[in-house]
Amino acid sequence: MKRPSALATIALDAGGLILSWVLGVLGLAPYATIAVIVFMAGDGLRRWYCGLGFPRVWWLFNGLALVLAITDLIVVVWLPAAYEPIPASLVFAVVFALGASGRRPIVQEIAEQRRGAPFPPERHDLRAFFRLYSWIWALYFFIRAGLYLWFAHNLSPERAHALENMIGPVSLFVMLMSSFRGQALFQLAQRAGLLGQRAGLPTPAPDETRG
């Protein structure tokens, strides 16, 4: 059987999150919870039948999708429309902050899943880079939540909604594209002395996570 590409693997691992986001964009957020549950059950059966296992990244992405879908249902009932995007950004910020402080940073786990192999355990500088990048993602979502809160307090609902719909996708696209410049970001952080002492081995560049 042909091994799925790294991109296809990540797409399946993050299927619940992607599904939740697409339904939200289409204005079908109330159906996201049941859709995520159905996806997790179906993909879970597929993984069990094929003996693929359940990596932590799968639980992370799909569990996060379920939390976001349930949060959206609660927010729609209890908060004005201008405040609706704030809880989702805070959830992502907390997840990345917690992921940055784990034994293996969350961004490293995602990168290894895309790469199809773990990074050498002796490369403490790589681990430091992924930890730093996890904190950058957490900071991004905290700033986005704060910006949305300012919009909701100081602008009309229509203006706030328009700015959220413009700034959110554009800033997220920039962040995602930056992840494809892993080697350049790693070298920049290394030159800035943010990664500690290298192990003296050739660097497997973070760009290799493209698959």
Q: Dihedral through CA 10, CA 16, CA 18, CA 20, nearest 10?
A: -170
Q: Are 118 and 150 contained in the same domain? A: yes
Q: Are 44 and 98 contained in the same domain? A: no
- Predicted confidence at residue 201, as pLDDT, reads 41
- Please give the model's pTM, rounded to 2 decimal places: 0.72
Buried b or exposed e, range 40-58, using 16+ CB within 10 angstroms: beebeeeeeeeeeeeeebb
Q: How many domains does the chain have?
A: 2
Choose the final residue of a domain: 78, 104, 123. Answer: 78
Domain that holds residue 129: 79-211
- Predicted confidence at residue 141, as pLDDT, reads 93
- Work out the number of other CB atoms within 10 angstroms of the CB of residue 149: 17
Q: Are 167 and 195 contained in the same domain? A: yes
pLDDT band, very low/low/confident/very high, at 154 (cuts 50, 70, 90): very high
Choose the final residue of a domain: 32, 50, 78. Answer: 78
Choose the final residue of a domain: 39, 62, 78. Answer: 78
Q: Are 175 and 83 contained in the same domain? A: yes
> What is the average per-residue pLDDT within 159-171?
86
Q: Are 116 and 67 contained in the same domain? A: no
Q: Are 108 and 144 contained in the same domain? A: yes
How does pLDDT run across 110-152, given as a tens digit for each residue?
A: 777 777 777 887 788 888 888 898 899 999 999 999 999 999 8
Q: Are 73 and 127 contained in the same domain? A: no
- Are the C-beta atoms of 137 and 174 separated by less than 8 Å? no
Q: Are 117 and 205 contained in the same domain? A: yes
pLDDT at 209 over 50: no
Task: Show the tokens assigned to 184.
Answer: 């350049």
